[in-house]
Structures are given as structure tokens and as C-alpha cells.
Amino acid sequence: MRKFLQRILTNPVIRLADKYSSHPKRQLVFDALDKLYRKITAGNEQKGLLIPVDTQKDKFIIFSDLHKGAKNGADDFMVCEQTYLEALDYYEKNAFHYICLGDGEELWENNLFAVRAANKASIEKEKTFVQRQALTKVFGNHDLFWDADPFSGVQLKSMYGVAVKIYEGVVLQMQIEGRPLSVFLTHGHQGDEQSDGNWFSKFFVSRIWGPLQSYLRINPNTPAYNSQLKTLHNTLMYEWSSQQQGLILITGHTHQPVFESLTLLESLVLQLDQARKNNDLALVHKLEQEIKTRQVELPVALNLYDKILPTYFNSGCCCYSDGDITGIEIEGGCIRLIRWKNSADGCNRTILAEKKLAAFS
């Protein structure tokens, strides 16, 4: 019976979830990002953290959209937990600063006590970063509780053993070959009236979407789902960032990795075009095979490639249905899109894309 219902209900249920939980509007998004960036750079620590960065010494890992749940059928993080734990081991051993860029906890579908009880191992790993003052926690729409609840500070202290501040955004300020560059990080739900934790969105997710997701065993974090909505979110973030000077924007929210304003699929198609021009047949074959496996990810706008500015990045998520997680590293004067995969050979880190920060300043 469940399999039959999965076939007929999965796509309609996901479309309903999108309709009632997300609907970004261009001007609202732009105004919200403008306002947040101004406040952070003006030193308003209630809104965000301003961090001066030495690009040769400082290291950052950005993960977002874990959606830690209650270890039930609606828990998208559960299948990725081991990958996440091993990734945190690597970043702790290599002295990275961890920026959790929102939706670390799924608090629309669950209460905090259930999430804490089900994710003790992850919280303990995160504590190691807290203990050396190397964890920065940003709230998203699904863990808006951290910003909205007057007792959230007490809960954070109970979780991590010390007081941990919560922010809406972070700005990393650095000098690249004598030129200033700002990296603006925020979850990416700003200006979306249906992703701001309003009562109806929370009601739909917790009372309708959550139970259906649990029963039907739906994980929406696959390339085939939500492509139109993801495209809209990514387009708005790109449009805003492309109008700024000396700034790149990193968000989460869409669960879709973006590097230099291109999704992974778009980047592969661009590489394929160049390989064909170079008559590199081996590379052409390799890229064609990889593109074939990802062709459902997004419509690709080939005619826009020569106009795109490399100003927008997205960390992806830590709740993919295959157990993979993606993130953004900033280290050694470079920015990287990375993927962690848990396989029979162990947990492996792969660099999907990399660029020198000097290219953006």
C-alpha cells in the first residue's frame, strides 16, 4: 500500500510543500539582503558577525541545511549523519572554523527536545569547535526558533556547555593582493514571506507535510525535486550579488550546490563546451557521461554563460537522500565546493570546484 501511495502522492505532496513553505519576491529579497549587510558591516552584532580574515592562515568550512530531526521517517539528516560526523572530525583535526549556515535543526516538524535527544553524537562533535571558539551558528527558516524564542540562549548553553550566540549573517573581510573582498554569508530565506516561520507555513510543515513525509518516506533533497523553485531562489541571490562591488555571497536554503553562480550541472556543460572546442575527446566522453546522470538537475541556459558573473555560491546541504553532504571551504587563499561521500571504502572528501580568491577581488 505504501509503495502505491508513494507513486501517486510523492510529487503532488512535494509541490504542496513548496507552495506553502516558500515564495520569494525579488524586491523583498533585495531589501532584506541590503539591510542585513549594512547592519553587519556597521558593527551591529545583534544581526551578524564581522570577521577579519588572514587568507593564508584562517580556514573556514561552511555547511548548511542539516535539518537534524527526531530519527523518524521524516528525518532527512539521519542517512547523512555518519558522513557529517567524519567530515567534522577532519575539519576539527585541521583547525577549521565551522560556520553552520542555517537550518541546522528541523524545528518546524519537531520540538527541540526530540532533536537534541536524537542527535547527541552530532552535538558532541560540534562542541569540539565551540570549545576552541570556532563555531559560528546562523539561523535559517526551519530553525528560526534560535532567533525568535527568548529562551533559545538557555537551550544553546545547555546543548554546548557554554553560551553560543546566534546570528542572521556573517561577513568575512579580507585583503587579496591589496584589494578588499567581503564574503557575505546568510541562510538565504530573507525576503521570502512564506519561509520566515509564519504560523501557516509552520502549521503545514509540522501537521501535514511532516506526517506525510514520514509515512511516504519522501526525501525531497534529490535533483529531480523542486528545480523550478530552486532556480528562482538561486536567480534572486545571483541578481543581488552581481550588483555588489568587491563582494561574493554564500547562502544555503535551496539544498543545491552553486559555485561561481553556476550549478554543478551548468558548470559541467560549460566544461563540455570548452572540451569540444579543444577536441579533447576523452574529456568530452567523461563529461557527457556525468551530465547524463545529472540531466534532471536543472534546465541549463547555455546562452547566458558569457553574461554570468562569479558572485554567488551555495553550500548545498547535509541531507541528501544518498547520504552525501556538500559544503564550501575557504582556505589557503582559495574557495572550494566539496562533497563528502560515505562508501564501503570509508568517508571520502572530493573537491568539486576550486578557485583562487584573487579572482574575485
Q: Are 224 and 239 in the same domain?
A: yes
Q: Does residue 121 sit in the same domain as residue 141? A: yes
Q: Which residues of 24-38 are buried (b: 16+ CB within 10 A; e: fewer)?
A: beeeebbebbeebbe
At which of 308, 330, 345 does a domain end?
308
281 & 144 share domain: no
Q: Does residue 298 sit in the same domain as residue 326? A: no
Contact 213, 54 (CB under 8 A): no
Q: Are residues 335 and 224 in the same domain?
A: yes
Q: Which of 271, 288, 308 is the last residue of a domain?
A: 308
Same domain, 152 and 292: no
> Are 293 and 208 in the same domain?
no
Sheet strand arrangement including 135-138: 166-167, 135-138, 97-101, 60-63, 325-331, 334-343, 346-356
Is 241 found in the same domain as 117? yes
The neighbouring-strand residues paired with 337 are 328, 353
Task: Print pLDDT tens along the chain (361 aa).
Answer: 555 655 665 566 555 555 555 567 889 899 999 999 999 999 999 999 999 999 999 999 999 999 999 998 889 999 999 999 999 999 999 999 999 999 999 988 888 999 999 999 999 999 999 999 999 999 998 898 898 888 999 999 999 999 999 999 999 999 999 999 999 999 998 877 655 555 555 455 545 555 555 555 555 544 334 455 466 788 889 889 999 999 999 999 988 888 876 666 666 777 777 888 889 888 888 877 776 665 544 444 444 444 567 899 999 999 999 999 999 999 999 999 999 998 888 899 999 889 999 999 8
**What is the pLDDT, as a whole number, of residue 297?**
46
Residues 16 and 83 in one domain: yes
Domain that holds residue 339: 2-258+316-360
Q: Which residues pair with 192 in a beta bridge?
A: 24
As a whole number of Å, the CA-based R_g of the chain is 20
Q: What's the confidence (pLDDT) of residue 243?
A: 94
Picking from 247, 258, 261, the residue whose alpha carbon sits closest to that of residue 360 is 247
Instruction: Give dist(CA 134, CA 327) in Å, integer.
Output: 17
299 and 206 share one domain: no
pTM more than 0.75: yes
Domain count, the chain: 2
Judgement on whether residues 283 and 159 belong to the same structural domain of the protein:
no
Same domain, 289 and 179: no
